[in-house]
Amino acid sequence: MTDPASARRRTIPSAPLLAAAHGRTPSRTPVWFMRQAGRSLPEYRKVREGIAMLDSCFMPELLAEITLQPVRRHDVDAAILFSDIVVPLKAAGLDIDIVPGRGPVVAEPIRCASDISALPILDHDVQEIIEGIGLIVDELTDQQALIGFIGAPFTLASYLIEGGPSKNHEQTKAMMHADPESWHALMRRIVPTVLGYLDTQVHAGIDAMQLFDSWAGFLSQRDYREYVLPYSQEIFAHIEQYDIPRIHFGVGTGELLGAMAEAGPDVVGVDWRVPLDDAASRIHAAAGPKVIQGNLDPAMLFTSEDVIRREVQRIHAEAQRAIAAGDATGHIFNLGHGVLPSTDAEMITRAVEIIHET
């Protein structure tokens, strides 16, 4: 794999997202949205027509085009690499696919120690991703950051054990508690693939990264600390050498915010369920003040400009209270989760304008 010292790096310290992520005062409130590159955009639906989701993630020109579409349309302050949580597993050689209407489906779910030892590990650069990122950074301005995309080991493990999306994660929790040795062996098997895929993205030129732990909210804080936290810490510690902002986000993780902050990110994402100032207080108590990211309810984009403006102002005020109290060192605006597929693209654009005016 590539030498980390040869990573392609842009010098864009004044980019609003990077300034905020480093605790400096940005030129404007930085905003980007999870799932901003996706089904809410008619241009996305057009270029993806007839192309399977995972296939599109390995087509450099297409993944670059999709990544850049919301930057061009909405004037967001960052692009998020178009990808999927299971892309590194696919790149490693796992038989996995994304089934329309269901999500990632694993051909042979992991059930025992021999399944774990047979799980492939990513041991090479993903050239398609390198080429795609090169195309993206060539178009971005020095005010627009590119955020790398990676799934956290727990969420990847859940897909591998359950065989696909799960409402209760019963097989995952059963392995954690009934066979902890196998659980930890699986997490140790997954981490090198996550790190390898991140190294590929950093080498290609990402400016920041976000670790998505989509299913962590199904865990108790006790289980998170014992079975998940050490592996997230390992990832953030590895990325520290690159000196890029590290963002951590999970859904329904209000009770885990302190523990997730202890994993070592520079920025902690907050979903819409917890007021930002309350979230910042929990984070500060556990790990010291961090930059906070969030947290407009995605459903608010279905309301009106007046409602969006009111909610944006409320969130901005919560963030400023947290900063004034010393509980946070900065704020990056985002949704409390991803853009919903049926969202009117024009309302997304207007929301960005309102955020930048605030």
- Confirm whether 84 is a catalytic residue: yes
Phi, psi for 145 (deg, rounded to 5): -90, 155
Cα–Cα dist 270/275, whole Å:
8
pLDDT at 103: 86
Helix then strand count (H, E) for the chain reads 16, 9
**Amino acid letter, 282:** R
Token reading at 30: 């930085």
Q: pTM for this one?
A: 0.96
159 tagged catalytic = yes
Q: 235-288, pLDDT tens digit by residue?
A: 999 999 999 999 999 999 999 999 999 999 999 999 999 999 999 999 999 999
Instruction: Tell me the Ramachandran region of residue 165: left when phi exceeds 0, alpha when psi lies from -120 to 50, beta otherwise.
Output: beta
- Catalytic: 310? no
Question: Which residues, 6 or more positions from 159, have their beta carbon under 8 angstroms from its beta carbon?
Answer: 85, 86, 89, 96, 104, 106, 165
Q: Measuring CA to CA, which residue among 135, 143, 138, 149 is closest to residue 36?
A: 149
Query: What confidence tens digit (pLDDT) does each residue in 10-37 have?
Result: 889 899 999 999 999 999 999 999 999 9
Contact 244, 204 (CB under 8 A): no
pLDDT at 5 over 60: no
Query: Which tens digits make up the pLDDT trace of 134-174?
Result: 999 999 999 999 999 999 999 999 999 999 899 999 999 99
332 closest CA partner among 11, 13, 24, 12: 24
Residue listed under structure tokens 């961090």: 290
pLDDT computed for residue 7 by the predictor: 62
Of the candidates 35, 73, 189, 282, the residue annotated as catalytic is: 35
CA angle in degrees (0–180, nearest 5) for 172-177-182: 70
4-357 maps to CATH 3.40.50.720: no
Q: At what angle do helices 60-74 and 127-139 cross, to 10 degrees?
A: 30
39 included as an active-site residue = yes
Q: Which of 44, 48, 213, 227 is catalytic?
A: 48
Which tens digit of pLDDT belongs to each residue from 45-80? 999 999 999 999 999 999 999 999 999 999 999 999
Q: What is the DSSP letter of 27?
A: S
Residue 3 has pLDDT above 90, yes or no: no
Give the start-to-end residue ranges of the domains of the chain: 4-357
Phi, psi of 238 (to 5 degrees): -65, -40
Q: Which of 9, 10, 39, 321 is catalytic?
A: 39
Which entry of 44, 73, 97, 159 is annotated as an active-site residue? Answer: 159
Across 156-302, the runs of DSSP E, i.e. the strands, are 208-213, 246-250, 267-269, 290-293
Q: Among residues 77, 84, 207, 277, which one is catalytic?
A: 84
Is a pLDDT exceeding 90 seen at residue 304? yes
Mean pLDDT of the chain: 95
